[in-house]
Every structure is written in C-alpha cells, then in structure tokens.
A and B are shown apart, each in its own frame.
Chain A
Amino acid sequence: MSLGIYAELLAFGLAVGGLYALTASGLNLVVGVMKILNIAHGEMLMLGAYTAFWAFTLWDVHPLLSVLLTGPLLFLLGVVIHQLVVRPIIRVSPTVERLERATLIGFFGVLIVLQNAALLLWTADYRVLNVLQTPVPGLHISVARLAVFLVSLALVFALHLLLMRTRFGKAVRAVSQDRDMAALLTIDVKTIGLLAFGLGSAMAGLGGSLASMIYVTTPTMGLMFTLKAFTVMVVGGLGSVLGNVVAGLALGLAEEFGAFWIGEAYKDVIDYVVLIAVILLISYGYLKRRELA
C-alpha cells in the first residue's frame, strides 16, 4: 500500500521534472548565448499553454499535436521580441552591469505586457484540458503525465542533438563560450543570437503545450515556471543540457515528495527554498558554477 504511494509520487515527480527540464533548457540556451536572463520565459510558456488550449477547444487539435503549432508560433514571437526589445537594449547599454539591469527591466515590461494581454484576451478564468486522464494500467499515473514526461525528454534530447551534432549547434556553443572569438572566426554572432532566442522561446512554447495537459492554464501561471526553470538552470549548470535534465527531474521529485510530507499547497514554497539555498551556496562560494555573464 505505502509502496504504491511512493511509486505514484515517483511517477508524478518525474513527469513534472521532465517538463521543468524542457522549460529550463530554453532559458539556459538564451542565457548561454546572449548572457541575458529572460524573466518573461514563463509567460511564453503560458502563451503556449493557451495556444494548445484553444487549438483543442476550437479545432479539436490534440495537445500533443499542438506542439507543431506552439513551437513555430513562439519562435516567431521570440524573434519579434528579440528585434523589438533585446537588440535595441544591447545597442544602448555601454557596460555589462547596465546591460544586465536594462534587460531585466525590459523583460519585466514584456512580462507585464504578455500577462495583461492574456488577461484581456482570455480573462482570468481557469482553463483545464481533459485529455488522456485514464490511468496507465499497472502504473499509478495517468496517460497524460506519462506522455508529458516522454515528450519532454524527447524534446530536450532533440535540442541536445541539435547543439552537439549540427553546424548550427557548434556555432551556438562557440558563441556561448566566447562571443568575440566566435565573431573573429566569421560566425555571424547576431544571427546566432536571434535564432537562439527564437529557439529558447519555442522551447517555452512547447513546454506550454505539455503544461496545458497537466496544469490549470491561467494568465498568471508563468511566474512559477520562470522560477522553476531558473532553479533548474542554476542547479544543472549553464550550457549543460543533460545537467538540466538531471536537475529538472531532481526538482520534480523533491517537489512531489516534499509536498507529500509537508502539504500539497507548499509545492512552490519547496522550490523557492531550493532556489534560495542554491543561490546562497553559489554566492558564498560553496558551489562552483559557470557565471551568468
């Protein structure tokens, strides 16, 4: 009996952990290449979740299939935001410190715009998708959660392959390691930055498609995903896709088991405590991590 509960917690934790890894991989890519932190990353996930919800409600598109829609859509949005917000900020910021603050404030503005746009368009009502809620036989988990877990990991793995096995991926890694040197080697760093930002947004959108299956979709759902993705990114290490997977799964498990012992409502609090602990460990020098910028 009690073993069954633990199996269930394990399955739940892995499922959300996979989703966290997916969300973090997009954030990680942008931070790595552009050295800027997108605090509106979760809002992009929220837009992906709404896209999946409406695609299902209006046209009966299955949420798992809607990744074909949310990916390109959010890629486009990412490109637009990059051209309208990120590039001008980089142009007017003279120092690294100024750039860091300016981008934080800029993305803060983007966050407010996206959240309020969602509120205006779709109101604050909770949206729930009822798909694949039947349990997998023999496993204490719904088909939806299993699907979210598998698809998340598949997408993260696809990103990993893209970064490790293609010329584009090689260029991305080069720019992350040393922007100036990459530019000297005739890599078009601006275009790589643009594509990486679009790709990072697309990853958030894909996460949104999956999140709509196991979470309640609301205009304010993004903030917690940003925090979780950030936690996973910091724990897993910058530029490390596989490190993110491990950290994402670990956070998902910590959340589910912690919630089981402390209380269901304290999931986000557990994550937050982990986040603070990790930041303190890094800041006080007990944990070595590659610098953000």
Chain B
Amino acid sequence: MTDRCRALGWAVAAAVVASLAVIPAGGTQYVRSFFLLLFMYVTLAQSWNMISGYTGYLSFGHGVFFGIGAYTAAHLVTKFGWPFPLALLAAGGMAVLAALLLGVVFMRVRIRVAYFSITALGLNEIVKTLVVNNEWLGSSHGLTLPPLPYQWVLFYLLLAFAAASTLLMRWVDRAPFGLGLKAILQDEEAAEVNGVPTFRLKLLVFLVSAFFPGITGAVIAWHWSYIDPYMAFDLVISFDMAVMTVFGGIGTVWGPVLGATLMGILTETLWVKVPNLHGLIFGALVVAIVVISPGGLMEIGDRVRRSVAVRRWWPLVREGESV
C-alpha cells in the first residue's frame, strides 16, 4: 500500500510540475508573472525552512542572501558584461560566501538561538545600509539590467529552483544528514555527545539555505529589470519567507510549499486592493499558528487526518503509525 501511495504521490507531483510548465505557452502576461512569483515564494520559504525549521536557528533576516544574489548578478552584468548564466552562478556563490563568513564564526560553538536570531534580524538592514552608502555598488540609485532576449527562461528557472529545493529537502528529510539536523533541533548538546558533527551539519545546511535565495535574487533582478537597495534588501522578503513557512508547517518538507502557495495567492490578490494589509494578516496568522498549532497547517491537517482515521477510515493511516 505504501508503495502505491508513493507512486501516486510522485505521479501527482510530476503532473503538477508538467501543467505548471505549459503556462508560458497559454497564459497571459499576468498569469505568467503571478506563477513566477509563486515559484519565488516556494523557493524562498523552502530555503528558510532548511536552516530555521530543521536546526531551529531562526534566520529572521534571511532575505539578505536574496539581496546579495540580486546585487551580485546585476553588478557583474552591468559593470563587467558577464553573460547571464555565469552571473547567476556567481550570485549563488556570493550568497554562499556570505553565509560561510557568518556560519564559521557563529556556528563554531553552540550559540543561543535568541542570539543567532536577533543577529540575523539585523543582518539584512546592515547590509542594506552598506550598499546604500557605497558609491561603487551604485548607492541608492540602483542598477538597470539589460533586457534578456527570452523572458520565459526566468519562469522555468524559478520553477526549477522551487522543484529542486523541495526535492532536496524531501531527500534530506529521510537521509542521515536530515536525521542529524533533527537531532540538533531537539537537543544540540545530546547530539554532539552522540557523535553528530553538529558544526559541519549546521554550516552545510546554512550554506545551502543561502544558495537558493542567492540564485533566486539574481533571476528576480532580471524579472524586475531594475534594482535598488530598497527593493533587493526589502525586509518584507525576509518576513515573507519566515511567515509562509511557519504558516504551512515549519520543519516539514511540504509545509513551505503549502504556505508559500496559499500566502502567495493572498499577497497577490490583496496587494492590488490594500497595500500592507496582507502583512498585517500574515503577522496575525503567525501569532495564531504559534499559539494554536506550532506545526502549522501540516500539523492541523495531520490532526484532522488522524481523527478521521480513528473512525476506521483505514487508508489514511500508514502502517505502524500510532493514532
């Protein structure tokens, strides 16, 4: 039964990706850009979940890696004439480098989650300040990118990032690597004592969680075709990725996908009517989730599934699972 369920799951996932992939052929400009942003949200939420959901180190300023990626790509293209693919890779590389710098000093020893979180919260604003005041980086004027001959590439790139980050986390979730991360989440000291290489695991997952926002930032910079520090390092990006993950289900594979999809739709529909209203709703939802069900929608769904299964609707409970 589990094999059949799994095969069905993969078939559904493949069908969803395939149907998303034909959107550029049929949809209008609005539909295309709507889905492009949705893929961005999924990738960003998934990245935030990697470090914050799996290790418990809440990276509240994670959007900084998005901004670094966007700026690296835009800079290399406008000032040095790099081709798009190379600039994209360099954007990911710069984000990873920044994370490495931070990770080496901050994860070498066991640091309090509160210390890490509040430092992360400030990081985005500090890097923004540095960029705004740097003449060479274009200060607050920003950079205009040359138009790409084929915009549809950006759509497929973001679809690929969303799928890749989710697949990666689905693999990590069951691999020894993921088990190590979960051990850190539950009790870092006990994990360390039991031979989990906590520093290496934390650093590695932090680097990966910085890479995806980096390349996403580069692609979005092209999508916008113009960036300035206030767009690239907008605090809302940092807020959204955390909010979406918490809403969907922190520390799960599909929670960020679910949260990013639902909240992405909410954002795009509400933004047209009342700007900033969605932020208010998001914040309130986060508070509600933490108070009512810290595991987010995934946990709520799980509870519903179990309570239904108790009424002997058997296929809903996996073998060996306690109800």
Instruction: Please give, as numbers and ranges, the residues of chain B lying within 8 Å of A284 by CB-CB distance.
Output: 109
Interface residues of B in 212-271 (CB under 8 A from A): 235, 239, 242-243, 246, 250
Contact A106 B286 (CB under 8 A): yes
Q: Does A70 contact B (CB under 8 A)?
A: no
Instruction: Convert A207-237 into 0s and 1s, putting 1 for each residue whose CB lies closer than 8 angstroms to a CB of B.
Output: 0000000000000100110110010000000
Q: Does B147 contact A (CB under 8 A)?
A: no
Q: Does B33 contact A (CB under 8 A)?
A: no
Contact B283 A109 (CB under 8 A): yes
Q: Does B151 contact A (CB under 8 A)?
A: no
Instruction: Please give, as numbers and ranges, the residues of chain B lying within 8 Å of A92 by CB-CB distance.
Output: 291, 294
Contact A112 B277 (CB under 8 A): no
A224 to B129, CA, bound (A): 12
Instruction: Convert B122-154 into 0s and 1s, putting 1 for each residue whose CB lies closer than 8 angstroms to a CB of A.
Output: 100110011011000000000000000000000
A137 to chain B, nearest CB (A): 35
B67-75, B110-118, B302-310 - interface stretch: B110-118
A113 to B126, CA, bound (A): 22
A185 to B239, CA, bound (A): 43
Contact A110 B291 (CB under 8 A): no
A11 to chain B, nearest CB (A): 25
Instruction: Please give, as numbers and ranges, the residues of chain A lying within 8 Å of B276 by CB-CB distance.
Output: 116, 119-120
A265 in complex: contacting residue of B121, B132, B279, CB < 8 Å: B132
Contact B112 A97 (CB under 8 A): no
Q: Does A8 contact B (CB under 8 A)?
A: no
A88 to B289, CA, bound (A): 11
Instruction: Please give, as numbers and ranges, the residues of chain A lying within 8 Å of B122 by CB-CB distance.
Output: 223-224, 227, 272, 275
Closest to B57 in A: A101
Contact A269 B242 (CB under 8 A): no
Instruction: Please give, as numbers and ranges, the residues of chain A lying within 8 Å of B246 by CB-CB distance.
Output: 105, 109
Instruction: Please give, as numbers and ranges, the residues of chain A lying within 8 Å of B117 by CB-CB distance.
Output: 39, 104
Contact B118 A39 (CB under 8 A): yes
A293 to chain B, nearest CB (A): 8
Contact B239 A100 (CB under 8 A): no
Closest to B125 in A: A223
Instruction: Please give, as numbers and ranges, the residues of chain B lying within 8 Å of A88 by CB-CB distance.
Output: 291
B287 in complex: contacting residue of A109, A116, A263, A266, CB < 8 Å: A109
Contact B235 A113 (CB under 8 A): no
Q: Does A66 contact B (CB under 8 A)?
A: no
Q: Does A117 contact B (CB under 8 A)?
A: yes
Contact A113 B290 (CB under 8 A): no
Contact A112 B121 (CB under 8 A): no
Instruction: Please give, as numbers and ranges, the residues of chain A lying within 8 Å of B126 by CB-CB distance.
Output: 268-269, 272
B49 to chain A, nearest CB (A): 13
Q: Does B284 contact A (CB under 8 A)?
A: yes
Q: Does B60 contact A (CB under 8 A)?
A: yes
A109 to B187, CA, bound (A): 25
A223 to B214, CA, bound (A): 24
Candidate in A92, A100, A104 with the most chain B CB atoms within 10 angstroms = A104
Interface residues of B in 71-120 (CB under 8 A from A): 105-106, 109-115, 117-119
Interface residues of A in 251-293 (CB under 8 A from B): 263, 265-266, 268-269, 272, 275-276, 279-280, 282-284, 292
A230 in complex: contacting residue of B105, B118, B282, CB < 8 Å: B118
Contact B290 A112 (CB under 8 A): no
Interface residues of B in 270-299 (CB under 8 A from A): 274, 276-277, 279-280, 282-287, 290-291, 294
Contact B291 A283 (CB under 8 A): no
A98 to B294, CA, bound (A): 10
Instruction: Please give, as numbers and ranges, the residues of chain B lying within 8 Å of A230 by CB-CB distance.
Output: 118
A208 to chain B, nearest CB (A): 19
Contact B112 A108 (CB under 8 A): no
Q: Does B178 contact A (CB under 8 A)?
A: no
Known: A92-B291, A280-B105. A116 touches B280 (CB 8 A): yes
Instruction: Convert A161-178 into 0s and 1s, putting 1 for each residue whose CB lies closer than 8 angstroms to a CB of B.
Output: 000000000000000000
A-B contact pairs, 26 of them (CB 8 A): A39-B60, A39-B118, A39-B121, A88-B291, A97-B56, A101-B58, A104-B114, A104-B117, A109-B243, A110-B287, A112-B243, A112-B283, A115-B283, A117-B280, A120-B276, A220-B235, A223-B235, A226-B118, A265-B129, A265-B133, A269-B129, A275-B122, A279-B111, A279-B119, A292-B112, A292-B114
**B residues adjacent to A (C-beta < 8 A):** 56, 58, 60, 105-106, 109-115, 117-119, 121-122, 125-126, 129-130, 132-133, 186-187, 235, 239, 242-243, 246, 250, 274, 276-277, 279-280, 282-287, 290-291, 294
**Known A116-B279, A266-B133; further 6 A-B contacts with Cβ < 8 A:** A100-B113, A109-B286, A112-B282, A113-B284, A220-B235, A265-B129
Question: Top 3 A-B pairs ranked by shortest CB distance?
Answer: A112-B283, A109-B286, A116-B279
